[in-house]
Amino acid sequence: MLNTDKEIYQWFSRSSGSEHIASWNAIKGLSRVLKRHAPTRLLEIGAGIGTLTYIVLASNRRKRTVAEFTVFEDNSYCINSLKKNLSVFENQYTLVNNLTQDLNQGQKYDFIIVDGGPPNLNVDKLLSNYGIVFLEGNRSNQREIIESQLINWTRMDYLSLSLSSKSAYCVYFKNPTKATKIKAYLTNLYFRIKSSIKYRIKGFKRRIERTG
């Protein structure tokens, strides 16, 4: 078993089918959110070859948490790779390939990871009253859909300071507390300022290169 988040990322980065795995930035972010909130009913939508799935399962094992974890993936290549990559976690997750037919009717999840999957999925119907959605990457279309479905929510944007949209991720909180709303505001402000500074520095360097 891989012991640290860094080992997990490095191992999956070298694996077959790694072209679209989650970024190191998103992996660190997911690990932090799991540690802080310790959800017990989780759903992953679009598991791919299992990078973020491994992070969740490893986190549960380290904390000795008994969690119900459902994983959706419908690509045959990814399903085969995922099963192989997660062989050390046998019987610790449920793999489904049809969200409409395979999920229990009325089941609500504390934590949903969106890393692909059907673009028109109604996340709100699957999310518990105070649930959390972790959206990997800069998926603008899925952001719009999620935000149109949720009624009372706040979002924390973790933008990539490397200027790579793939490294970005965001976290949605359904029916957030006042403290969570304040934290979201400050987090978003911080990343907007840092990103603005990064862009300005990059633009300044380009102007120097042109004139030099």
Which are the contacts of 80, defined by CB distance < 8 A and separation ≥ 6? none
- Segment among 61-75, 94-108, 190-204 with least mean pLDDT: 190-204
The whole-number average pLDDT for the span 118-133 is 91
104 pLDDT band, cuts 50/70/90, is confident
Joined together, the tokens standing for residue 22 give 């989650």
Q: How do residues 50-70 score in pLDDT, each as one tens digit?
A: 999 999 999 999 888 889 999
Which are the contacts of 6, defined by CB distance < 8 A and separation ≥ 6? 24
- Count of Cβ atoms closer than 10 Å to residue 145 Cβ: 19
pLDDT: which is higher, 50 or 140:
50
* 3-state SS assignment for residue 35: helix
- Segment among 57-61, 129-133, 162-166, 171-175 with least mean pLDDT: 162-166
The whole-number average pLDDT for the span 95-113 is 90
Give the DSSP letter string of 86-125. Answer: TGGGTTSSEEES-HHHHSPTT--EEEEEESSS-TT--HHH
> Which amino acid, 42?
L
Say what the pLDDT of residue 163 is: 46
* Structural domain span for residue 157: 5-211
Q: Taking 90 as the threshold, does the pLDDT of residue 127 lie above it?
A: yes
CATH number at residue 137: 3.40.50.150
Please tell me the total count of domains within the chain: 1
Joined together, the tokens standing for residue 63 give 């904390």
pTM: 0.89
